[in-house]
Structure 1
Amino acid sequence: LLLALIIPSLILILVFTLDWLAALLLLLSAPLIPLFMALVGMGAEKLNQQHFQTISRLSGQFLDKVRGLTTLQLFGQTDAAASLLATRSDAYRRITMKTLRIAFLSSAVLEFFASMAIAVIAIYIGFGLLGYITFGPADELTLFSGLLILLLAPEFFQPLRTLSQHYHDRASALGAGAEILSRMNRLGRGSPRGGHDGQRENKPQDSVLLGAVGLCYRQEQPIFSDLSLSFEKGDCIALTGPSGGGKSSLLHLLAGFVVPDEGSISVFGKPPGSFSFGWLGQTGFLVQGSWADNLRLTRPDASDIAIETALTNAGLRPLLESRDAGIHSQVSEDGQGLSGGQARRLSLARIFVADYDLILLDEPTAGLDTDSEVHVIEALHKLAEAGKTLIFSTHHQALLTLANRVLLVSDGELRDA
């Protein structure tokens, strides 16, 4: 902005001393470039917001379809899924072409007005030197002054061109920033407020606090209403109760996957999901690659020894020793080559590698055989002894015994069991 103001002003003053009519032509044409670029830029900002929204939705839908490909095939819905992705891809193509059209339009506007202004000045100087223009200062034009004005004219518009390009980049950044700010605002809604001011003064970094939390997926069926409770750092909390009572929803609130409709949540003095924590759902998450690749998702710099130690803590040492490739044994996204319990334990080993302070587990022993259950329970016992904060939902009696506090979650209400 400073360069676009200072440099054209200095050039304008110099040209004015040489020929006031040429300076007047520059002065009249200068505002046209920022004006029309601003008009084009406003349209570019809206289009960029639509562009980022479209690509984020398309990416999410594509990932969902890939993860659920087996289910889609079982129910004969692959054609419908492919058709939906084709429709979304075409929508993304159209919005991309609109964005490119705006980009080309902005360049055309910039070059058009700059070229037209320089051309008019060149015509004026040329006809003035030839004697065809007799009014104004044209009679006083010399070859030196005319050539100097022509050389300065492109430099007069160059800072305005640069400003216009940055303005267009700003519009693109605002389009992307809208998505980022939306995510940050959703996270900020979970920050502590309301009735926990006193508790926040008493070392909130050592507590998990829920104050008057309300959550409702459907208006007629609230999940939680005015829910308040607290956990201390290092607690081992078991959530039990009937299916559909709200155990998984409470874990999702603590993880930041779901934002409460009302109330506040503070996890160690921070909004949920704003820091790294351990998560183990009912289905282990794996990626195509080696065992080491899967464990390094949470800690890329983990050494081979650290990975082997984590696998041992998760009860996978015998299986590791039976594999020729060791930690470099391959596994697919669907856990091919591993049983369900082994895949779950491989995901659990990822938590040992990362060394999280908070670990959330949703039915960690559900659907496992007896041998896998024992290994998972032993692994959680090691985490509890290490002073980690464990919060898990379960119906397993051994896990309930492991916890130092058991909460019964039923019909949106919590009470000590």
Structure 2
Amino acid sequence: MPALTATRLLTDLAATQRRRLSLAAACGLLEGVLIVFQAGLFAWVASALLVDHRSLDRLTLPFILWLSALPLRGLLGYARETLAQDASLAVRKRLRRRLLDHLARLGPVQVAGHHTASLAYQAVEQVEALDGYFSRFRVQLVLAVAVPLTVLGITLYFDWLAALFLLLAAPLIPLFMALVGMGAERLNREQFAAVSRLSGHFIDRVRSLTTLRLFGQTERATQSVHAAADGYRVRSMRTLRLAFLSSAVLEFFASVAIAVVAIYVGFGLLGYIRYGPADELTLFSGLLILLLAPEFFQPLRSLAQHYHDRAAALGAAEHIAELLDQPVPATRRGDDASPSPASDNALLALDRASVVHPGRGTVLGPVTVTVGRGETIVVTGASGSGKSTLLQLAAGFVAPDKDGARRRAPDLRFAWMDQRPLLVHGTLADNLRLADPEADDAALARALESAHLGELLAGLPRGLETPVGERGAGLSGGQAQRLALARVFLSAAPLVLLDEPTASLDAQSEQAIMSALEVLQAAGRTLIISTHHPALIALADRRWQLDQGRLEEVPHG
């Protein structure tokens, strides 16, 4: 399958809103027809008054028709903008949903290769950068072809020499637009990359603020943020300078072309030009050509004004396409080599499964093991021996190489908990409902009680609505860990994967975690625990020992 490019991504997204965009373009074309109609009617009325000497009372109907076209043009313009904006909103919602779904399919291991600030910037700002492309540029691209061709055809009918002047001037605008666009696209691409780096740079400094204060480096960190922000300012001003310069150049050429047509018509009507069709010019045809000349360039000028929307969209879409093009591990797609283990009692089986990291070679395996329902398995080994990788393989966050297989029970669900649990900015209830969005307050309270947080909940004035900061701000390490464990109780997943669940905890919190794990064990859950803790090892039915990626089952009893 060919790589996803920025152009292809924008084309695919536009195809999803073809009906709205087509209707918006149709409204714009009708608006252009009304402009031509008004210009022709105005030229006819002027000729009737000044050349045919008709009285004003005989021209009431043309005046009414001319005036009635004004609100109709306004309604068509409103419909065009509304349809295009609705299409843009739908496209951005669709792309953001697609991006978030793709990140979910990639899994935490693949996503860990991207900075969280960069991902947040892509999901918010870079998706929003596509707005102008779909709400303005895409429709204007159609109008910039259809309306000038219509005006050119009418002008050619009345005076081929005036049409030739327009035809010679017309390519200059797209030419300069393309030249400017190439530079603007490059600058926008660099600007988006700079903002992503700036976002990551800033959030890293905020997260490490305590450490910076301890080592007296806050002043240097502040200077580095100022330097990064100033670099972004310079890039932004460079992009704006190019945009304003291009607009000035385009306006200049359009004004010169209109002036040339006006001079030709004026001297032709005065009889100073006798070449070609100049002798045949009348007040009606000359005035009509003069009125239509600005309308010939107006769609092209509008397209040039919105061309920076295209450059911004291409710059943003390139980064989004790179992320969407990142392959999803086979286990995250659900297309394991064999969906079910050989035994009906087994939840999970690894058959000669190995994990290979680029540049590091084989970090785990080959591993051949079977995990039965209701078993408690402890994984031990030195740091770096592959314990976390084994849990990631069991969860399906990483896929085994082509020679191995991961087999699982149909619709296997699992709960994951490590020594740094994910806690989001919100309430206790918000963090618990990450495991079960439909759970009621009674179920949340039972989960907290099972995780030995019932006493804490009873002492909180706001109960489940107590706010929790990002990464568990406002909770102790032990409380944050037990809150994560409460999510495990709430999930009811048959397989529970725990990576060093008691690391860096005080004795009271360790005891609470182990007591809760015994409850899970008694409930028939399957537990796979990576640990060094003797008390947790004592809970196990089986013990796996890892040494430099090689797994050996140690007799346990």
Q: Distance in 2 between matches of 1:134 and 1:288?
A: 79
Aligned with 1:213 (options 349, 352, 355): 355
Q: Distance in 1 between matches of 2:404 and 2:225?
A: 37
Give the TM-score, by structure 1 length: 0.78
Report the counterpart of residue 273 of structure 1 in structure 2: none
Q: Distance in 1 between matches of 2:400 and 2:223?
A: 35
Question: Please, which runs of 5 or more residues in structure 1 have no aligned partner?
Answer: 270-275
Query: How do 1:286-365 residues align onto structure 2 when only pairs under 5 Å count?
Result: 286=423, 290-295=427-432, 303-333=440-470, 338-350=475-487, 360-365=497-502
Determine whether 1:33 maps to 2:173: yes
Comparing 285-294 and 169-178, the one that deviates more: 285-294
Shift of 1:316: 0.5
Report the counterpart of residue 176 of structure 1 in structure 2: 316
Comparing 311-320 and 279-288, the one that deviates more: 279-288
Determine whether 1:23 maps to 2:157: no
- Relative distance call for 1:36 and 1:333 in structure 2 (3 A) is same
Determine whether 1:64 maps to 2:201: no
Q: Which has the higher helix share?
A: 2
Give, as a single letter, the amino acid of the residue that structure 1 aligns with 2:229: S
- Aligned sequence identity (%): 54
Comparing 358-367 and 399-408, the one that deviates more: 399-408
Q: Distance in 2 between matches of 1:122 and 1:233?
A: 88
SS in 1 for 2:150: helix
Give, as a single letter, the amino acid of the residue that structure 2 aligns with 1:183: L
Aligned with 1:88 (options 228, 231, 238): 228
- Relative distance call for 1:117 and 1:358 in structure 2 (3 A) is farther
SS in 2 for 1:46: helix
Comparing 149-158 and 329-338, the one that deviates more: 329-338
Give, as a single letter, the amino acid of the residue that structure 1 aligns with 2:324: M
Determine whether 1:369 maps to 2:506: yes
Q: Distance in 2 between matches of 1:289 and 1:131?
A: 80
Shift of 1:139: 1.9
Report the counterpart of residue 154 of structure 1 in structure 2: 294
Shift of 1:126: 2.1
Q: Is the 8 A contact 2:421 2:480 kept in 1?
A: yes
Report the counterpart of residue 46 of structure 1 in structure 2: 186
Q: Is the 8 A contact 2:498 2:529 kept in 1?
A: yes
Q: Is the 8 A contact 1:222 1:412 kept in 2?
A: no
Q: Distance in 1 between matches of 2:407 and 2:244?
A: 50
Q: Alignment RMSD, CA only?
A: 4.0
Q: Is the 8 A contact 2:364 2:548 kept in 1?
A: no
- Relative distance call for 1:202 and 1:334 in structure 2 (3 A) is closer
Comparing 244-253 and 352-361, the one that deviates more: 352-361
Report the counterpart of residue 272 of structure 1 in structure 2: none
Q: Distance in 1 between matches of 2:184 and 2:348?
A: 46
Residue correspondences, number: 402
Shift of 1:223: 6.4
Q: Is the 8 A contact 1:191 1:266 kept in 2?
A: no
Q: Distance in 1 between matches of 2:228 and 2:415?
A: 34
Q: Is the 8 A contact 1:223 1:411 kept in 2?
A: no
SS in 2 for 1:324: coil
Query: How do 1:6-21 residues align onto structure 2 when only pairs under 5 Å count?
Result: 6-21=146-161
- Relative distance call for 1:123 and 1:61 in structure 2 (3 A) is same
- Relative distance call for 1:98 and 1:379 in structure 2 (3 A) is farther
Q: Report the structure number with the largest CA radius of gyration.
A: 2
- Note the alpha carbon deviations across 1:205-247, whole angstroms, 9 max, x for none: x86879542125xx5x656166556777978654321122232
Report the counterpart of residue 122 of structure 2 in structure 1: none
Q: Distance in 2 between matches of 1:302 and 1:354?
A: 10
Q: Distance in 1 between matches of 2:468 and 2:153?
A: 72
Report the counterpart of residue 125 of structure 1 in structure 2: 265
Shift of 1:189: 5.7
SS in 2 for 1:315: coil
SS in 2 for 1:283: coil
Shift of 1:254: 7.2
Aligned with 1:101 (options 228, 235, 241): 241
Determine whether 1:245 maps to 2:382: no
Q: Distance in 1 between matches of 2:233 and 2:484?
A: 37
Report the counterpart of residue 393 of structure 1 in structure 2: 530
- Note the alpha carbon deviations across 1:324-347, whole angstroms, 9 max, x for none: 332233455575654321122123
Give the TM-score, by structure 2 length: 0.61
Q: Distance in 2 between matches of 1:111 and 1:394?
A: 70
Aligned with 2:363 (options 220, 224, 230): 224
Shift of 1:130: 2.6
SS in 2 for 1:200: coil
SS in 1 for 2:318: helix
Shift of 1:323: 2.3
